[in-house]
C-alpha cells in the first residue's frame, strides 16, 4: 500500500513538472486571450491580424509573416494570403514560445460539397436551435502529409482531429 501511494505521489510530481515545463514565467496574450503554454496554435483567415502582447518586454520573429513591432511589449502579426502553417517565435532571455499561425482555406473555395476533392458536405443555412456551435466556419485548415503531425499544443497534434474518411491528402478540418 505504501509503495502504491509513493508511486502515485511520484507520478503527480512528474505530471506537475511536465506542465510547469510547458509554461512561461511571463504572460502572453493573443487578441486578448491568454496563451497558457510554450506551444500553441491559432486558426486564422488569410490576411487576419493578430495582436500579440505580454506583461513584459519580449522579441517576436516570424518567417513568411508580416510582423509589426508596436512596442517592446506588443506586436501585430498579419497572416499571409496563402493558406498553410506558419509560426512565430516569442522569446525573452532563455525562454521561448512557439505560436503556430494556421491560415485557413476560405469556404468560398468549396465547389458543391467538395473542397479540392475532399468531401466537406453542406452546412444548413440556419443553425440548429440557433446555437452558435453550429455556425458555418469561415474556412477550414488544409492538412497535408507535411502538416498531419503538427503539434497544436504540448498535448495535441493535428492527426488526432482528422476524420477517418478514405482517401489521401489534402484533408480539411477546423478546431475550435
90-132 confidence digits (pLDDT tens)? 999 999 999 999 999 999 888 988 888 888 888 777 888 888 8
Residue 124 lies inside a defined structural domain of this protein? yes
CA–chain centroid gap for 91, Å, is: 18
Exposed / middle / buried, residue 79 (Cβ in 10 Å: 0-12, 13-18, 19+): buried
Tell me the β-bridge partners of 68: 76
Query: Has residue 15 been placed in a domain?
Result: no
In a domain, 11, yes or no: no
- Is the residue at 16 inside a domain? no
**Domain encompassing residue 33:** 23-173
Percent of the chain with pLDDT over 90: 53
Residue 116 in any domain: the answer is yes
User: Does residue 94 sit in helix, strand or coil?
Assistant: coil
Domain count, the chain: 1
In DSSP terms, which residues pair with 83 in a beta bridge? none
pTM: 0.82
In-domain check, residue 152: yes
| Cα separation values, 14 from 7, 17, 41, 53, Å | 11, 5, 25, 31
Quick check: is 123 in a domain? yes
> Between these two residues, 78 and 15, which has the higher pLDDT value?
78
pLDDT in tens, 27-62: 999 999 999 899 999 999 999 999 999 999 999 999
Spell out a b/e string for 128-143, using b for 16 or more CB atoms within 10 Å of the CB, else e.
eeeeeeeeebebbbbb
- Does residue 9 lie within any of the structural domains? no
Amino acid at each position: 500500500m505504501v509503495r502504491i501511494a509513493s508511486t502515485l505521489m511520484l507520478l503527480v510530481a512528474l505530471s506537475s513538472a511536465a506542465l510547469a515545463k510547458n509554461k512561461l514565467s511571463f504572460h502572453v496574450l493573443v487578441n486578448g486571450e491568454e496563451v497558457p503554454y510554450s506551444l500553441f496554435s491559432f486558426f486564422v483567415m488569410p490576411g487576419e491580424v493578430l495582436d500579440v502582447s505580454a506583461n513584459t518586454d519580449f522579441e517576436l520573429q516570424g518567417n513568411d509573416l508580416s510582423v509589426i513591432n508596436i512596442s517592446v511589449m506588443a506586436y501585430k502579426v498579419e497572416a499571409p494570403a496563402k493558406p498553410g502553417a506558419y509560426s512565430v517565435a516569442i522569446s525573452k532571455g532563455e525562454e521561448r514560445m512557439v505560436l503556430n499561425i494556421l491560415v485557413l482555406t476560405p469556404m468560398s473555395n468549396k465547389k458543391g460539397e467538395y473542397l479540392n476533392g475532399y468531401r466537406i458536405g453542406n452546412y444548413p443555412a440556419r443553425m440548429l436551435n440557433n446555437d452558435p456551435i453550429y455556425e458555418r466556419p469561415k474556412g477550414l485548415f488544409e492538412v497535408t502529409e507535411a502538416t498531419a503531425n503538427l503539434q497544436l499544443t504540448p498535448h495535441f497534434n493535428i492527426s488526432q482531429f482528422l476524420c477517418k474518411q478514405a482517401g489521401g491528402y489534402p484533408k480539411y478540418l477546423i478546431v475550435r
